[in-house]
Amino acid sequence: MRRKNMSTVEIPWTSESIRPRREGRRGWPLILDWVYLFLLLAAFPYTLYKLFATEKYRHGLRERLGWVPPRAGKAPCLWLHGVSVGEVLAARQFVTELLRTLPDWEIVISTTTRTGQQIAHQHFGERHQVFYFPYDFTRAVHSTFQRIRPDAVVLMELEVWPAFLEEARRRALPVFVANGRLSETSFRGYQRIRPLMKRFLEPIRMVLVQNPIYGERFRSLGVRERFIQTTGNMKYDNLPAPILAEAAHSLRKEYGFDPTEPILLAGSTHEPEELALVEIYESLRKTDPGLRLILVPRHPERAADLTKRIEERGHPVLRRSRWQLNSGSNSEKKSPTPSIFLVDTIGELGKLYCLADLVFIGGSLIDHGGQNVLEPAGAGKPVLIGPSYRNFKEEVERLRDAGGLLVTRDSSELETHLTHLLQDPNARHRMGNRGRETLTELRGASAENASRISNILTPTLSSRGSLPKKNKPIH
């Protein structure tokens, strides 16, 4: 992918370009607080039930209310926010590039979801402060800013929280959107409140989008055209490298699979896709009795119910959380055959793609819009997906046109394609190679985004002289 010459890129942010808050606008964040409070009270019985019945809704509540641990360092700080797992994983190479281009800066990372927290701690916890993003109440947002003391904010893809963006504008902090994307569904929703969106997005001073289509959508919502730049998709920079056959065999042994068993992996599945895959698995085993099925539901908390329903169909289920991985290359411990391997843990999907022979991507046999196809394609695996893939339309169509992915109309056609590919190892190999080669050509967005942001932040901090008085440390 061609990149623009950095010398031609306009610097769209200076400390003077974020206007101080006008007197007439002081009250609108408080109005938002009242709106949020009304909605909270309207849903109070349901909210109360979820807090008591579901542990994940209580997890991190203190931090979400603004009581994050105060940042100890005094270096300039960049606050990077990713909503959930996908955004956090996409940020891995980006953070590495930011540390290279901004060596004197501290980077802190927030997420919205609990699974995002787990992945963020796994990848960044040793070096960076990781915490929950605050609820969009004025006091919670203000408290978090006071404790973190950021000098700049980077939002991965985009998440619009008005009180948060207003607080950043009030502090004259530059806000960037990296790996920016606006799905068709989100765009239609935002268009309904376009006048409000234009106000909400006012503090954003650079939007680095994945493609021109997303750029046009941001422009339509009120972001000035000179603030929008196309730099590509950072997810291409974080794809796993294909592993050698010997390493794949070792990985299979680690999980208890025989190196000769063909493996079908269904990743990021949603209800009721798992049972549809089990039916296909039953049919495929009639001609290939050695076939193994790995199910990786998008929401691991569904594992207990899934286990019960699959076992009612007569299939033993082995849950990943109850399986002790083999250690040592000579281990002969095997997972029971013909059990279905159900992954109810977080953070292993990328590694599991490497041991699969065929990969189906979930959220696509139902009207959900599909899930990320890049990881398995980057690992050199043949990828299949259902008819619903609007969330990853560009990626799916690029891989499909290159011959690295098959789009199926329904579960019946999915079974037909799987049957053919199981019987033709050469076809699987060709598909995997074409997908991997296609994605390899598209890398480089992480370095480009980090370069453009750091080129703005370095002179910016020098011009400000020191940290703003508003950002005094809290002890």
Catalytic residues: 87
Spatial CB neighbours of 264, under 8 Å, sequence gap ≥ 6 = 277, 281, 284, 291, 292, 293, 294, 356, 357, 358, 359, 360, 418
DSSP string, 65-99: TT-PPPP---S-EEEEEE-SHHHHHHTHHHHHHHH
Q: Which residues contact 405 (CB under 8 A, 6 or more apart)?
A: 373, 377, 382, 383, 384, 385, 396, 399, 431, 435
| The pair of three-digit structure tokens given for residue 423, joined into one six-digit string | 């019987």
Cβ neighbours of 286 (radius 10 Å): 8
**Spatial distance between the Cα atoms of 49 and 2, rounded to a whole number of angstroms:** 52
Cβ pair 175, 128 in contact under 8 A: no
Q: How far apart are the first and last CA of the chain?
A: 47
Q: Give the pair of three-digit tokens for residue 309.
A: 């329903």
Q: Which two tokens stand for residue 472?
A: 């005094």
Q: Which of 400, 406, 399 is nearest to 441 (CA)?
A: 399
Least Cα distance to 296 among 347, 249, 258 occurs for 347
The candidate with the shortest Cα–Cα distance to 120, out of 141, 140, 92, is 92
The DSSP bridge pattern shows strands 228-230 and 152-156 to be unpaired
What does the DSSP 8-state code read for residue 302?
G
Q: How far is CA 257 from the centre of its chain?
A: 29
Which stretches does DSSP call E strand in 135-273? 152-156, 175-180, 204-209, 228-230, 263-269
Q: Which neighbouring-strand residues pair with 207?
A: 177, 228
Residue for token pair 């196309």: 230
